[in-house]
Structure formats: structure tokens, C-alpha cells
A = this chain, B = another copy of it.
Amino acid sequence: WCQAAAQKFSGGIGSKLCAILLLIFARHAIIYYFNAIMLFFIFYFLFVFFTDLLPALDGDAKTMNFLQEVVDIMLAYIVESFDRSTKVIDFHYPNELLQRNNWELSDEPETLDDILISCRATLKYAIKTAHPRYFNQLSTGLDMVGLAADWLTSTANTNMFTYEVAPVFVLLEYVTLKKMREIIGWQEGRGDGIFSPGGAISNMYAMLLARYKMFPEVKEKGMSSAPRLVAFTSEHSHFSIKKGAAALGIGTESVICIKADERGKMIPSDLERRIIEAKQKGYVPFFVSATAGTTVYGAFDPLMAIADICKKHDIWMHVDGAWGGSLLMSRKHRWKLNGVERANSMTWNPHKMMAVPLQCSALLVREEGLMQSCNQMQACYLFQQDKQYDLSYDTGDKALQCGRHVDIFKLWLMWRAKGTIGFEAQIDKCLELSEYLYNKIKDREGYEMVFDGKVSLIRCIFIFLFFLVAPVIKARMMEYGTTMVSYQPQGDKVNFFRMVISNPAATFEDIDFLIEEIERLGQDL
């Protein structure tokens, strides 16, 4: 058309003028076209409702436009999150946040324009967990491959209970659990395991298995069929051990807390003493939970010595490596878990130090078949025994859950993208940053270390200036939104900052910034 028009015009009237006019017209047309598109998108979603999206007839285009708009909002948020000049959080008190937006649910539908506004508002007031200066929890950072995998998981929207409805994900869980067991050091990666909704549930599973192993009749007859069972864990261990004991009908008083040394590691001689003591009282020790990376100090219990004691007294040894288990990926640091290969079970949360998106927690079990017999109820409407495929891939009956969220794909895809050496590099870097922080503040004026010595180096713990200022500095951090670190007491030690580095985006400069920021925020205290 263009060619023909140009020929006609240039052939007809004065060719020079004509060509110019043609080009001016083309330019205007393009500008007009783009403006129209812009205007179109500004008002477009004001007239679109969820009923216009798929499965509506001809809903394809509107669905694509809507989802793409959400993706654009997310992409902008992601890029912003990694930008150090932005705030980690735009903090508001609950009552204030409730008033800043309309969060109420009504009877009538809203337009998709309102839905997009809600998406923007939700991200505006969210914590930027990807921010390089976000250090608040054991799980920080946002991995791009993990994120893509989680989006894809949502898109597949299925359930882990049978091979029938999640063929690929069931296989990937099988492959990944085997690999993790190989890394633990169990022969040929044999054993069992499951991805569960978090470390607390993984720990509860372990306790349940230990009880079943020793007193299988408890499954049918309840705790009254067993003698008084007692479990052991260090005084620094995670509260989920006690929570699990309360839920399982064992009782928190039957969880005996073993003394930890000044660095937070369980004292094996105290463990053995308490086991013997319990036996003398007629109790039955059935479960020892050693911690690989305690929640506050980041301490590693001496697994080898604990394994000796468990073997001697024939007790189930569990390793709660929710936090520290990932060190197994590092040739440089995995010695801290020496002895884990002798454990009966292990909790390992890739959503912590491996920075897999939340949630991703594995329970690994050395004995095959135990999970199945412990938990199965053989519901025949779900686990039909006359299906056409190998039923060992129907993993649902070994779980406490019925439906189970797909948590495997993000870990598997990240592992493919990074390789084991990629995870190793990421973890080694976090430990290097911890050491850097430790060296920087150990002799700095105004700081006091909660404990000295570079034992675990997984995290750095320090008291700044005066014990009681931590909550004030933390509150200011959140109001300024510049960085976030957690504080807490432990035993007789009052509020101190616990600096955890699991964020793959953090650099030496971010550590420098953190120290300067704490000093700035606390200078008038």
C-alpha cells in the first residue's frame, strides 16, 4: 500500500513536497496510534470484570492483558526491591494500615481496575524481602529462578498426594529427596522423606516416627498404651520441639532441656546424665533432637558425640537442621554437621540458607517404609489399589496432610540453574559476610559480643551500646525503613541484635551500611 501510494503521489504532483507530506502524515499516524494505545490501557480495566476472563468465551485476550498487567506490576516491584535507594518497608501501624486502603470484602464484584489497584497497594505496604538490606529473618532474599518456578507451580495448581494428578512433581520430589539423602551420606541415598509445611511440622513428623518405631501400638491405642516417654533437646533448640510434644500428647514436661555451653552447643555429658536419670525414674527416652544451627546463636550441637549416646541407649536421633542443614552443600563448612549421617531423621529447610522461596522444608528419614506404616490410613477413595501405575509413587498416605502443596519445583529448578556448586558459592558467601561483620565490630567501641569466638560463623550476634536500646533502634529502623535486623533476649542476656545473613543480595557494603545505620539511629540514646 505504502509503495503504491508513494508511486502515485510522487508521480502526480511535485515529488518533493509529496514525499515530505507523506512522511509527516506517517509520523503523526504513529504518534496518534501510540497515544490511543496508552489511553486504551489506562481505561481498559475499568470496564472489565472477572467474568470476562477465562473460562469466558473469547476470554483469551482479556485474560492475557490482565495477567500481563499483573506481571508488569510485579516486575517493577522486583527491580525496585533490589535497588538500595528504596526503603525495605513502608511501615504503618495496624490501625493506620487498615485505613490507608479499602481492604473490606463486599457482596458485589469489583472491576479488574480495582483488582490491579489492590495488587499495587499490597506490594506498596509489603516488606521487600528481596532487598539487599533485609536481614530480619532466617529466610531472606528472592531468587529469580525460584520465583519463576513458584509462578509455574501456581499455574499448574495441583496436589502432591498422587502420581495421577502430579506426575512430574512427584518424580521431582523423588529425585530431589534422593539427592539430599546422598548429601547427608546415607548409603546410595536410600531412605525416605517428604516435603512438609515448614520445619516445625518436619520436627513433629520426626517425633511421631520415633514414637511409632518404639511403640507402634500408640497409633491405634493412644499414649495410654505406652510408658512415659521422654524426649531430649538442648535449651537453645527451637520451640517446635515442645510444640510437637504438646500436640502429640507427650506433654512439654516430657521434653527435657539439656544444658548448652556458652556458645549454645548442647553438652553431651549433660545429655547422657539426663538420659540415665530418666531411665532411673522409669521413663522411656525415645527421642533426641540435636540442633544444627540454633535459632538465636546459630550453634551446632556435637552430632558425633550425640550419635554415640543415642546408639548406646538405643534412642532415635533427630537432627533439626532447619537452619544449618544447608551447610551440607558447602565442602568448606559441612564438617559442622559431621555425624549427621548417623541420625535417624533430619529436618532441612532449603527456604532458609539456600534462599528457596517460602515454603520449602524437607524431612529426611533413614529407614524406608516407616513413614508409610506410621501414617497410612488407606483411604480407598484416594489411594485406589487397582490403578494402572506403580503405586509407590502415590505418596499421600505417608503424610499427615491429605492434600499437599507442591513445594518441590522451586528447589528443583534452582538446583538445575545453580548446580550444587552454585548453592555452595551462595552459602560460602553468606558465611564470609558474617566473618566480615564479626571482625568489624568485635573491637569496635560501643559494641559487646554476646559470645566470643568464631564458632559457627553462621551469624553474628552483638549487643550495641546498652542492652535496652535494641527495641528502640529496631522501631526506628522500621519507621525509616532503611534496613531490618532482629533482636531478642536469650537466657540471662537481655535484648541483643541477632544478625543473620542468608540474603544472597547482601554485599560487604551492605554490612558497612548496617553498622553505620545502627549507630545513626542510636546516637541520641
Q: How far is the CB of A387 from chain B (nearest CB, A)?
A: 7
Q: Let me know if B94 and A176 touch, CB within 8 A.
A: no
Q: Chain A, 83-120, contact with B by CB distance < 8 Å: what is the 0/1 string?
A: 00000010111110110000111111110101100110
Known: A78-B63, A97-B167, A223-B223. A151 touches B50 (CB 8 A): no
Across the interface, do A16 and B20 meet the contact criterion of CB distance under 8 Å?
A: no
Partner among B79, B393, B504 whose Cβ is within 8 Å of the Cβ of A63: B79
Partner of A208, one of B154, B228, B247: B247
A64, chain B: closest CB distance, angstroms: 6
A199 contacts the other chain (Cβ, under 8 Å)?
Answer: yes
Say whether A150 faces chain B, with CB atoms less than 8 Å apart: yes
Residues of B within 8 A of A471 (CB): 384, 386-388
- A208 vs B244: C-alpha distance in the bound complex, in angstroms? 12
**In chain B, what residue has the closest Cβ to A295?**
B381
Classify chain A: how many residues form its interface, as a range: 35 or more
B contact residues around A262 at 8 Å (CB): none
Nearest-neighbour CB distance to chain B for A363, whole angstroms, equals 14
A359 sits at the interface (CB 8 A): yes
Which of B6, B82, B106, B413 contacts A115, CB < 8 Å? Answer: B413
Chain B CB within 8 A of A337 CB: no
Known contacts A418-B109, A471-B388; decide if A219 and B251 are in contact (CB<8 Å): yes
- From A131-139, A268-276, A432-440, A441-449, the one touching the partner chain is A131-139
Once A248-B247, A405-B359 are accepted as A-B contacts, the answer to whether A74 and B159 lie under 8 Å apart by CB is: no
> Which of A309-317, A485-493, A513-521 has 4 or more CB atoms under 8 Å from chain B?
A485-493
Q: How far is the CA of A375 from the CA of B246 in the complex (A)?
A: 8
Cross-chain contact B79 with A127 (CB below 8 angstroms): no
A525 within 8 A of B: no
A sample of 10 inter-chain contacts (CB < 8 A) reads: A7-B20, A11-B16, A97-B167, A108-B421, A114-B416, A115-B416, A147-B157, A219-B246, A222-B223, A239-B402
* Among all A-B residue pairs, the 4 with the closest Cβ atoms: A249-B249, A222-B251, A15-B15, A55-B505
